[in-house]
């Protein structure tokens, strides 16, 4: 089968398309023919080992432990192990392989208990593949701060994969959502349900006199220092990017003991139940996919270059089978 591999850390050019052996499912696994996958920010961080901390967290110190890249997926079950009961051959599924990776390929084996579920019928494979990354990251952060009905949240970077998810999930939880994005994405973000949209090229949300319960920095281009004055007493600033972990833990620790506003860092531990919740919201018309660009699997290097510009809107999808 065709798969995207990388045997060393580096820029997008270390990725290459190669013929590799097709996996065989174990008793508790399903074999999925992948129709669509994504290139996301985490893929790029790990491929480049940026920050270096990824090497210490299990990605591989000298070289990648996993040759095959990619985590998000949507496709069709083509074989199932003897112990599998939830899925059958022919089922359309979506979800993520997590840190097992291997989704930038024509086939993948995934445990039945993993974060995969039956694909919403009305969604295309490309739309379904784009769900897990942003939704899981946003849910982890909102759970971490226990966002509740009636609270006020700012989503900074509201047009990215995590940001578009956080806007929709924040509204589902009953919060008042202020979404911050650039000019070209104002109408998109408003259509996702944001109560207020701030164009950061024209306005600084910190200078409007409003105060908030939560500021979620979905792109790590803001800072706790800049937003501290916009947080209510007891308010929380959520940092989300591992690349900033060198200073975030120190500031987060200090904020626990000094002052009445907090900085927290959210990595999260997404579950299958999280995916099923998002699926329910999709089927109820309360959550939708946002796709910026589509590439063929052969264009993975070009797709990765674009993601690393930091300017993508929503998700970048790879069509694996050409459909």
pLDDT tens, per residue, the chain with 323 residues: 999 999 998 999 999 999 999 999 999 999 999 999 999 988 988 887 776 666 665 566 667 778 899 999 999 999 999 999 999 999 999 999 988 899 999 999 999 999 999 999 999 999 999 999 999 999 999 999 999 999 999 999 999 999 999 999 999 999 999 999 999 999 999 999 999 999 999 999 999 889 999 999 998 888 888 888 999 999 999 988 655 444 555 444 444 544 567 888 776 678 999 999 999 999 999 999 999 999 999 999 999 999 999 899 999 999 998 54
Q: Residue 131 and residue 148: Cα distance in Å, rounded?
A: 23
Q: Indicate whether 148 and 206 sit together in one domain.
A: yes
Helices (H), 177-241: 186-191, 224-227
Q: Indicate whether 204 and 144 sit together in one domain.
A: yes
Tell me what pLDDT residue 244 has.
46
Is 284 domain-assigned? no
Residue 212 belongs to domain with CATH number = 3.40.50.720
Tell me what pLDDT residue 49 has.
75
Q: Residue 162 and residue 94: Cα distance in Å, rounded?
A: 18
Tell me what pLDDT residue 154 has.
98
Tell me what pLDDT residue 142 has.
95
Q: Residue 83 and residue 257: Cα distance in Å, rounded?
A: 50
Range of the domain at 111: 2-131+289-319
Q: Indicate whether 211 and 294 sit together in one domain.
A: no
Which residues share a beta bridge with 92? 76
Tell me what pLDDT residue 51 has.
61
Tell me what pLDDT residue 252 has.
44
Is 85 domain-assigned? yes
Q: Indicate whether 103 and 6 sit together in one domain.
A: yes
Tell me what pLDDT residue 263 has.
87
Q: Indicate whether 73 and 141 sit together in one domain.
A: no
Q: Indicate whether 25 and 97 sit together in one domain.
A: yes
Q: Indicate whether 71 and 7 sit together in one domain.
A: yes
Q: Indicate whether 157 and 94 sit together in one domain.
A: no
How many domains does the chain contain in total? Answer: 2
Is 212 domain-assigned? yes
Is 277 domain-assigned? no
Q: Indicate whether 186 and 226 sit together in one domain.
A: yes
Tell me what pLDDT residue 267 has.
67
Tell me what pLDDT residue 23 has.
97
Tell me what pLDDT residue 254 has.
44
Any residues with CB less than 8 A from the CB of 16 and at least 6 apart, and which? Answer: 4, 5, 6
> What pTM value is reported for the model?
0.91
Residue 93 belongs to domain with CATH number = 3.90.180.10
Is 280 domain-assigned? no
Is 101 domain-assigned? yes
Q: Indicate whether 116 and 142 sit together in one domain.
A: no
Q: Residue 42 and residue 223: Cα distance in Å, rounded?
A: 20
Q: Indicate whether 113 and 150 sit together in one domain.
A: no
């Amino acid at each position: 089968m065709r798969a995207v591999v990388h045997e060393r850390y580096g820029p997008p050019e270390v990725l290459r398309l190669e013929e590799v052996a097709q996996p065989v499912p174990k008793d508790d696994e399903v074999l999925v023919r992948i129709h669509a996958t994504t290139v996301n920010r985490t893929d790029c961080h790990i491929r480049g080992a940026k920050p270096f901390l990824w090497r210490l967290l299990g990605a591989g110190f000298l070289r990648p432990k996993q040759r095959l890249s990619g985590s998000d997926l949507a496709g069709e079950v083509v074989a199932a192990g003897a112990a599998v009961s939830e899925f059958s051959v022919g089922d359309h599924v979506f979800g993520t392989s997590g840190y097992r990776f291997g989704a930038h390929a024509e086939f993948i084996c995934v445990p039945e208990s993993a974060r995969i579920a039956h694909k919403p019928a009305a969604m295309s494979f490309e739309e379904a593949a784009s769900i897990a990354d942003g939704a899981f990251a946003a849910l982890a952060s909102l759970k971490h701060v226990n966002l509740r009905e009636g609270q006020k949240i700012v989503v900074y970077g509201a047009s990215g994969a995590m940001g578009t998810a956080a806007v929709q999930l924040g509204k589902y939880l009953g919060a008042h959502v202020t979404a911050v994005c650039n000019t070209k994405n104002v109408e998109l973000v408003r259509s996702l349900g944001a109560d207020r949209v701030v164009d950061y090229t024209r306005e600084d949300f910190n200078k409007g006199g409003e105060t908030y319960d939560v500021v979620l920095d979905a792109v790590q281009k803001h800072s706790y220092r800049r937003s501290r004055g916009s947080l209510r007493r007891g308010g929380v600033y959520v940092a989300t990017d591992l690349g900033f972990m060198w200073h975030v833990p120190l500031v987060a620790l200090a904020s626990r003991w000094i002052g009445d506003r907090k900085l927290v860092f959210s990595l999260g531990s997404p579950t299958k139940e999280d995916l099923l919740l998002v699926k329910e919201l999709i089927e109820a018309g309360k959550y939708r996919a946002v796709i910026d660009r589509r590439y063929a699997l052969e264009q993975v290097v070009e797709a990765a270059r674009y993601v690393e510009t930091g300017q993508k809107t929503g998700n970048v999808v790879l069509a694996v089978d050409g459909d």
